[in-house]
Amino acid sequence: MTWKLTCTECGAHYDERDVRYVCPVCAEAQSPGDSTRGVLEVEWDVDALRAGWSAYLDDALTRGLERVRPLLPLSDRAPVLPLVVGDTPMCAVPLLRENLGLPNLWVKDDTRNPSASYKDRASALVCLKAAEYGESVIVAASTGNAATALSCLAASLGQRAVILVPASAPRAKLVQMLCYGAQVVPVQGSYDQAFELSLEATRLFGWYNRNTAYNPFTIEGKKTAALEVVRDLGGRSPDAVVIPTGDGVILSGIAKGFRDLVRAGVITRVPKLISVQAAGSAAIANAVREGRDLVAVPGAKTVADSICVDAPRAGLLAVREIRASGGHAVVVEDEAIVRAIAELARLGGIFAEPAAAAALAGLHVAMQESVISANDEIVLMITGHGLKDVATASGSIEVPEAIRPDTAALRERLERVGTA
């Protein structure tokens, strides 16, 4: 066996044939609506990691998760993924670099994934594992992106997706899920309430659960971006990675990817992980900044729906990963998030949803707090496309009034804005 499941709390090891979701011992301490206890992650044999990395580098023809398959916990029973997930570009963004005074800034643009979000990485691996296990129905609770990702990837593999989503989720994301053919069940409550309901549904109906952190393969799927970053940087680790954070699973997955490469001897260190949270949903940031244990934020609220959670499901793990990397956590206001949507689009050509743009807002704060220096090589993780929430993005711009259809009116308008 080249890998096993390891509890991130107590260190116990499990075979996937015996335990599917969380550590049964640590799960005894679970409280409803609290961070997930006994989160499991995939622990690889070092030789398997080294061989997998070599195979990954040598394969110049395959794209996406199929290329990284040697570093994923899949058996021969798992089908080939029909869609290209991952292999998203590292963008140099010269105008944004100049504007910020950060000559070594990169933007990892995960808006290019099939459902236009980073969550495709986790959902793809979960769907492949479901197929490997012979499961045909996958359930998930989500504020939107994980659900759209699951709906998309499940559709590509002929699986049924059942989605429990807060009724407040952006309409564009609901439309996405429904167009993919998912069975969408809006819940009159918060994401955390939808999460608990999905766990009950899993026990009652025997469905396979994709929930973030609860399913260990969500972390493993999300590690793949770190592998791509190191590959695209020529085998080196950046100095810092800035990550918008809600449940903490993207951050934990990225940390896991870098840690795997440290164990394999590919890189020597995990970069500083800089978590960005909205002021109205900052449980992880509060714990890191105040040097204390994680405490939930009841009634979390922010325009960035994708990172709005009361109790981060991988919060305990994320706090540990941030501290171990020598990283930091910053908090941003909703107004700064909305401004960052237009800034990233105008100076980088990348249209991001609020949660993704929070990364850029957080980068500004990290610079102000001297968390990073001007010469650091920094990777900014952009995790979702702006078309997922146009209503919020519209707050960062002003749509001009229409003019008469003649050149005089056009000249007048151009002169007024200084472009004639």
Centre a 10 Å sphere on the Cβ of residue 89 and count the other Cβ atoms it contains: 14
Every domain of the chain and the residues it spans? 99-111+218-396
Long-range contacts formed by 341-344: CB under 8 A, 24+ apart: 341/386, 341/392, 341/393, 341/396, 342/393, 342/396, 342/397, 343/96, 344/96, 344/107, 344/382
- What's the first-to-final CA gap in the chain, in angstroms? 69
Query: Using CA atoms in the order 147, 148, 151, 157, what is the torsion angle rounded to 10 degrees?
Result: -120
The beta strand positions in 145-278, using DSSP E, are: 160-166, 183-187, 208-209, 240-244, 272-278
User: What is the domain class of 99-111+218-396 according to CATH?
Assistant: alpha beta
Query: Rounded to an integer, what distance in angstroms lies between the CA atom of residue 160 and that of residue 150?
Result: 9
Query: Rounded to an integer, what distance in angstroms lies between the CA atom of residue 295 and that of residue 401?
Result: 47
Write the DSSP symbol of residue 88. Answer: -
CB 248 within 8 A of CB 213: yes
**Tens digit of each residue's pLDDT, the chain (420 residues):** 799 999 999 999 999 999 999 999 999 999 887 889 999 999 999 999 999 999 999 999 999 999 999 999 999 999 999 999 999 999 999 999 999 999 999 999 999 999 999 999 999 999 999 999 999 999 999 888 999 999 999 999 999 999 999 888 888 889 999 999 999 999 998 888 998 999 999 999 999 999 999 999 999 999 999 999 999 999 999 999 999 999 999 999 999 999 999 999 999 999 999 999 999 999 999 999 999 999 888 899 999 999 999 989 999 999 999 999 999 999 999 999 999 999 999 999 999 999 999 999 999 999 999 999 999 999 999 999 999 998 888 888 888 999 999 999 999 999 988 765
Here the tokens at position 106 are 């990169």
Query: Rounded to an integer, what distance in angstroms lies between the CA atom of residue 68 and that of residue 88?
Result: 13
